[in-house]
Structure 1
Amino acid sequence: MATEQMYSVVVPNSPAIPGEGKPRRSVLCPEKLLENYPSIKAGVTITTLYENFLEGVQRAEGGEFLGHRPIVDDVPQAYQWQTYAEVKERITHFGAGLSHLGLAPNNNFGIFAINRPEWTMSELSGYMYNYTTVPLYDTLGVSAIEYIVNQTEMEIVIASADKASIILNMKSTLPTVKTVVVMGDVDQTLLDEAKELNVHVVSWADVERSGREKPVQAVHPTAEDVATICYTSGTTGTPKGAILTHKNFISTIASFHTMAKHGKFFIPSPADTHVSYLPLAHVFERLCQAVMISGAARVGYYQGDTLKLLDDVAVLQPTIFASVPRLFNRIYDKVLAGVKAKGGVAAFLFNRAYNTKKANLRRGIIHHALWDRLVFGAIRARLGGKVRHIVSGSAPISPDVMDFLRICFSADVYEGYGQTEQAAGLSMSYRGDLTPGQVGPPQLCTEVKLRDIPSMNYTSEDKPFPRGEIMLRGNSVFKGYYKAPQQTAETLDAEGWSGTGDVGQWDAQGRLVVIDRVKNIFKLAQGEYIAPEKIEAVLAKHFLVAQVFVYGHSLQAMLVGVVVPDSETLLVWAKDNGLGGKTYEELCAHPQVRTTLQKELTVFGKESDLKGFEILKNIYVTPEQFTIDNDLLTPTFKLKRHAAKEKYSVEIERMYAEIN
């Protein structure tokens, strides 16, 4: 009888410690954790993000790097590209220009803009001259920007014009800010305002020009130098600045390169294109870009509006698509709702093709000569038609959606798991492993163990699989929180183990399965533990649901929920059920819609194997989406549970009163 392939192994000679399981490492590197990776140039080792960029320049051989769509009279144009060599020249000049503005090695500087070429070039200049980047993002709120700028004693902020205005409006609370470098054109109004506030405003192009006219010898970083201070958005409290070194990022990139050598991942090439739209202020997108750079891939930016993302994707035709479950769930919902609406022969063909390919997945096959062309071509076109690799990160993704992506896009689909505190490098599922619901073994730069959570009955002795809080140690683990020793001590112990706050388990083949967040699990009155994110992931797959927030009070025995219906499918449903002609808002307030949704979600939840206590006993229907702008989502699209609870507190009380 053949033994199952193991993906991780217990670390040799690790001691048995009461209350926790033994640490495990990837089977690809059981002896030594990776720190760096070899260049294609013989005898050269890549140890910093600047060297990683030089590797990209070398591999590109003059090829294209950064692309954007100029907007002319509100109309997006074709992508314009800069080559790796051109960008290298520009960051050399821009970094020197920052030096003329008073920035010295190891000094902090801010970047405040949505994704665009100048964001990446500013960051690369920091890597070249050993400056420390501190990303800002206004979705955290004004108080958080004030906190970050003042804690890091930021003197220079590189910003787009709209964000520069925010900084100037806040100047009275930002005493350290002296200079704002503006990406793009600088209008006179901004200059006049800055002059009154005694702030030096200069264009990005002028800083670049000053560095070209007066070069400065760059002081390159070492592996242990700080690359960035990346503030976590969190769901409550003040943000925490994770101190991440060059080694933290490079060790994870090294893991991908070694995985690729074993056929377990991919390394991009100049023939690949990545679409950059996830916030660069967060480590997931920054790690993605660093991996793209290591293989000399092209990076094309969206035009800045997520509602127009698929238009940009259709033009760019990326081969690599990294995103978050929220977007993949929307694609899944739209496709299945479209199939159901068509019915007849079209639905029959889709279902037959889908079921055939799903059966093939169990044999490791993602392509089908007939169905890929006949049925799934139109779906693949939604992401430009050329996607070969899909990476999902930031939050757990449903196994059904993972299967859907593999079936409809005939692409290798990977699920990554990590946090800001590990430069997004904790684990990654392996190429060819089509088992849904797991996030693979540890990255080759880390080791992972599970620590018991007795209060929740999770232990490393659990059968059949050990469970507990996911802990890790290794080369991707951060140095601590900036100027926050107490918070650092709460997360990092004396031996370098970092707590994640996530509950995980090892499966039979040594892969990690993330169960939920420790702090997001709550207990109902009868003692049942509830994992709301799991329930939300199930219910969000219903064709009538766009978003859902599950809530349970510890003094109550039942769950309630806030549901945002899908506007398109709700309007179609209304037409078929005697409510045609009503607006989306009117439908959300209609008792028949609430009653129908309640019944539908009850049946759907039971069909999806939710337990009785996981079924919503009452719901509130609202047309208002959970968004970053209304402070119900973090910038990485995670639900802010505390904010949602506060916003819907009256409705929650009423729902419980109606049940009781």
Structure 2
Amino acid sequence: MATQMYSVAVPNSPDIPGEGKPRRSVLCPDKLVENYPSIKAGATITTLYENFLEGVLRSDGGDFLGHRPIVNGAPQDYKWESYTKVQKRVTDFGAGLSHLGLSPSDNFGIFSINRPEWTMSELAGYMYNYTTVPLYDTLGVTAIEYIVNQTEMQIIIASADKASIILNLKSTLPTVKIVIVMGELDDALVTEGKDLGVNVVSWTSVEASGLERPVEAVHPTAEDVATICYTSGTTGTPKGAILTHKNFVGTIGSFHMMAKHGKFFIPSCADIHVSYLPLAHVFERLCQSVMISGSARIGYYQGDTLKLLDDIAVLHPTIFVSVPRLFNRIYDKVLAGVKAKGGLAAFLFNRAYNAKKANLRRGIIEHALWDKLVFGTIRARLGGKVKHIVSGSAPISPDVMDFLRICFSADVYEGYGQTEQAAGLSMSYRGDLTPGQVGPPQLCTEVKLRDLPAMNYTSQDKPFPRGEIMLRGTSVFKGYFKSQKQTEETLDAEGWSSTGDVGQWDAQGRLIVIDRVKNIFKLAQGEYIAPEKIEAILAKHFLVAQVFVHGHSLQATLVGVVVPDAETLKLWANENKLGDKSYEELCAHPLVRTTLLKELTVFGKESDLKGFEILKNIYVTSEQFSIENDLLTPTFKLKRHQAKEKYNAEIDRMYNEINNN
């Protein structure tokens, strides 16, 4: 029986020293996808505005955007607006922006957590060919100033709390003239703006002005800029990736073509997506664009991730898109709960889990008995109706991928992409239950691996080629805004974009992300360390919530900063006569540190970490790594440089302890 291949070498591609052959999905070996066909005979979707019209057409007047009104501090049931209603509001709001002075190709900022007005503002930009520039909710004052001033932004659409931030920064934002406030507008904010020379108006008043005086929209072409999306970055100032309508539609078209071949899904009116990943990031914006293309409903969270599961319980999403950090937490909580229960409950869970895991190897994700008897309560954590789970933003461990398929009986996909490709680089296929891979290239891109001899990764490696992941195609960005030097560092003359990630082709032509070029460091004895790989393994330990691994080039060993899991630490404390201690007191207790270090040493060895990858000392803290304390990006990636700066004293102390013993 022939091995099923997921990608093939590009026909007639030249042999280039130091590089592997470019590969494309087996579904499009000869031509990359640039768009997709409408359900309207003879029509083709080429822009994000046309993508919205496609959603309106497919919806047949069905619901589109939903939010939970807060009454007397209590969230209510979801309130929905239809595709046709939103289309009218978007048309009016876009016209209102025109009355405020916006012309086609002009930019405006959006500064808010996810909410219906965020999406409607963006759709207005698509309809009237304005360029959206999202401001990250927690990007930091310096970065906000940098983005606003670099783009010479005059109009910012913001929630009331973010509008206050903009007004507080007005002295350093000379171009800002108008702030449009989502939701209720406080008179004090209007007065403050007036004193600063800023016209503060409500979102609904802009909408009303467009209703009163319609403006004929100048719709975009595929080559027009849809957005300048600034990368959150883990170091340095943010870079504004210039993304066109074609970049996004190429990726959306890839999903449609994959669905046509039964390798993915296109949502319908019956599907619901919960929107909580930051809309300022390209991943969630692409997800929403795909949802819109199939006329799915989009329900927004309240704005507090701690209440996300409450929102999900009310919303009952059928599609759940998230990042490994959240999936890892679900995995840890479930397994810790099973261990705590013990007895018959643990026996049944393990028997059910092992039975379903064996079935995964035969391509089966459902089990009539175990799904109802054992996994029903776990499935209820995500609302009980999830059919499709998508993980993106960072690598997810094979164990967690298996866990999601076993416990939720859902199709689970792992995607891989970056801001610079409108999040469209590769995606695993429906029915392929092999964990640890991110599928073949998206149908809009071709991918090759470039040798990294300093890291011992080459395209000639046996049994599988390895190297830096490079791509070219429809989804690849035009360059960085006003940053020619950085553009030339990322994009070459032939359109190949470097990712900074290290990949490997498997035997079936699927991509595996194995390393990060910039996050590799060398220890004193010459061993290369990939800290993210080690962190992903150690974070699966039931006592660990978060971990930061660090190594110094002048040292021969690794150290780490560990944030314990509050619930499981409490259970451990009860068993070790420390049950009267608070979480903060436990984190500071010497026994917790020594126990955690021993546990992680054993766990690391059991997980096949090499000797030089084992932590030799740790610092335990009760302070979570978060966006708010600038240790995580908006997509929950660890800011390694900031973490090193924050814990520099502890790192030095840990190395002193190692070297003095």
**What interval of TM-score do these two structures reach, taking the shorter chain for normalisation?**
over 0.9
Kept in 2, the 8 Å contact 1:393–1:416? The answer is yes
SS across alignment from 1:369? coil
Kept in 1, the 8 Å contact 2:157–2:180? The answer is yes
The residue that corresponds to 1:368 in the other structure is 367
The Cα of 1:188 is off from its aligned counterpart by 1.3
SS across alignment from 1:508? coil
The residue that corresponds to 1:610 in the other structure is 609
For structure 2, the 5+ residue unaligned runs are: none
Aligned counterparts, 1:54-93, within 5 A: 54-93=53-92
The residue that corresponds to 1:169 in the other structure is 168
The Cα of 1:454 is off from its aligned counterpart by 1.1
1:34-84 Cα offsets, whole Å, 9 max, x none, are: 100000000000000000000000000010000000011110000000000
The residue that corresponds to 2:388 in the other structure is 389
Kept in 2, the 8 Å contact 1:138–1:145? The answer is no
The residue that corresponds to 2:431 in the other structure is 432
Aligned counterparts, 1:96-495, within 5 A: 96-495=95-494
The residue that corresponds to 2:6 in the other structure is 7
1:591-623 Cα offsets, whole Å, 9 max, x none, are: 111111011001111111111111101111110
Aligned counterparts, 1:515-530, within 5 A: 515-530=514-529
Q: Give, as a single letter, the amino acid of the residue that structure 2 aligns with 1:321.
A: F
How far apart in 2 are the matches of 1:269 and 1:138? 30
Q: Give, as a single letter, the amino acid of the residue that structure 2 aligns with 1:144.
A: A
Kept in 2, the 8 Å contact 1:111–1:157? The answer is yes
The Cα of 1:580 is off from its aligned counterpart by 1.2
SS across alignment from 2:230? strand
Q: Give, as a single letter, the amino acid of the residue that structure 1 aligns with 2:600.
A: L
How far apart in 1 are the matches of 2:413 and 2:559? 33
Percent identical residues: 85
Q: Give, as a single letter, the amino acid of the residue that structure 1 aligns with 2:404.
A: L
Q: Give, as a single letter, the amino acid of the residue that structure 2 aligns with 1:178.
A: K
The Cα of 1:185 is off from its aligned counterpart by 1.1
The Cα of 1:138 is off from its aligned counterpart by 3.9
Kept in 1, the 8 Å contact 2:113–2:137? The answer is no
How far apart in 2 are the matches of 1:310 and 1:140? 25
Could you state the TM-score of these two structures normalised by the residue count of structure 1?
A: 1.00
SS across alignment from 1:139? coil
The residue that corresponds to 2:28 in the other structure is 29
Q: Give, as a single letter, the amino acid of the residue that structure 1 aligns with 2:512.
A: V
Aligned counterparts, 1:623-638, within 5 A: 623-638=622-637
SS across alignment from 2:97? helix
How far apart in 1 are the matches of 2:136 and 2:72? 27
How far apart in 1 are the matches of 2:493 and 2:352? 54
How far apart in 1 are the matches of 2:73 and 2:324? 30
Aligned counterparts, 1:543-554, within 5 A: 543-554=542-553
How far apart in 2 are the matches of 1:525 and 1:93? 63
How far apart in 1 are the matches of 2:636 and 2:292? 25
Q: Give, as a single letter, the amino acid of the residue that structure 1 aligns with 2:105.
A: N
SS across alignment from 1:405? helix
Could you state the TM-score of these two structures normalised by the residue count of structure 2?
A: 0.99
How far apart in 1 are the matches of 2:606 and 2:363? 27
Q: Give, as a single letter, the amino acid of the residue that structure 1 aligns with 2:96.
A: G
The Cα of 1:541 is off from its aligned counterpart by 0.5
Q: Give, as a single letter, the amino acid of the residue that structure 2 aligns with 1:621.
A: V
The Cα of 1:307 is off from its aligned counterpart by 0.2
Q: Give, as a single letter, the amino acid of the residue that structure 2 aligns with 1:267.
A: I
Instruction: Report the RMSD for the aligned CA atoms in angstroms.
Output: 0.5
1:290-323 Cα offsets, whole Å, 9 max, x none, are: 0000000000000000000000000000000000
The Cα of 1:527 is off from its aligned counterpart by 1.1
Kept in 2, the 8 Å contact 1:274–1:300? The answer is yes
How far apart in 1 are the matches of 2:305 and 2:513? 28
Q: Give, as a single letter, the amino acid of the residue that structure 1 aligns with 2:485.
A: Q
Kept in 2, the 8 Å contact 1:257–1:267? The answer is yes
How far apart in 2 are the matches of 1:25 and 1:13? 13
How far apart in 1 are the matches of 2:172 and 2:137? 15
How far apart in 2 are the matches of 1:24 and 1:130? 34
How far apart in 2 are the matches of 1:370 and 1:320? 24
How far apart in 1 are the matches of 2:591 and 2:302? 40
Kept in 2, the 8 Å contact 1:29–1:444? The answer is yes
How far apart in 2 are the matches of 1:578 and 1:558? 33
The Cα of 1:4 is off from its aligned counterpart by 1.1
Q: Give, as a single letter, the amino acid of the residue that structure 2 aligns with 1:190.
A: L
SS across alignment from 2:479? coil
The Cα of 1:400 is off from its aligned counterpart by 0.3
How far apart in 1 are the matches of 2:94 and 2:344? 61
Q: Give, as a single letter, the amino acid of the residue that structure 1 aligns with 2:550.
A: Y
Q: Give, as a single letter, the amino acid of the residue that structure 1 aligns with 2:625.
A: F
Q: Which moved more, 1:133-142 or 1:301-310?
A: 133-142
Q: Give, as a single letter, the amino acid of the residue that structure 1 aligns with 2:228.
A: I
The Cα of 1:167 is off from its aligned counterpart by 0.5
SS across alignment from 1:140? coil
The residue that corresponds to 1:658 in the other structure is 657
How far apart in 2 are the matches of 1:282 and 1:649? 30
Kept in 1, the 8 Å contact 2:468–2:503? The answer is yes
How far apart in 1 are the matches of 2:257 and 2:368? 31
How far apart in 2 are the matches of 1:188 and 1:269? 42
Q: Give, as a single letter, the amino acid of the residue that structure 2 aligns with 1:33.
A: L
How far apart in 2 are the matches of 1:167 and 1:128? 26
The Cα of 1:535 is off from its aligned counterpart by 0.5
1:396-434 Cα offsets, whole Å, 9 max, x none, are: 001000000000000000000000000000000000000
For structure 1, the 5+ residue unaligned runs are: none
Q: Give, as a single letter, the amino acid of the residue that structure 1 aligns with 2:349.
A: F
SS across alignment from 2:227? strand
Q: Give, as a single letter, the amino acid of the residue that structure 2 aligns with 1:32.
A: K
The Cα of 1:140 is off from its aligned counterpart by 1.5
How far apart in 2 are the matches of 1:289 and 1:137? 17
How far apart in 2 are the matches of 1:641 and 1:185? 39
How far apart in 2 are the matches of 1:199 and 1:393? 39
SS across alignment from 1:109? strand
Would you say 1:620 and 2:619 are equivalent positions? yes
Kept in 2, the 8 Å contact 1:273–1:300? The answer is yes
Q: Give, as a single letter, the amino acid of the residue that structure 2 aligns with 1:102.
A: G
SS across alignment from 1:356? helix
1:482-537 Cα offsets, whole Å, 9 max, x none, are: 00000000000000000000000100000000012100011111111111111001
How far apart in 2 are the matches of 1:495 and 1:344? 62
The residue that corresponds to 2:48 in the other structure is 49
Report the count of equivalent residues. Answer: 659
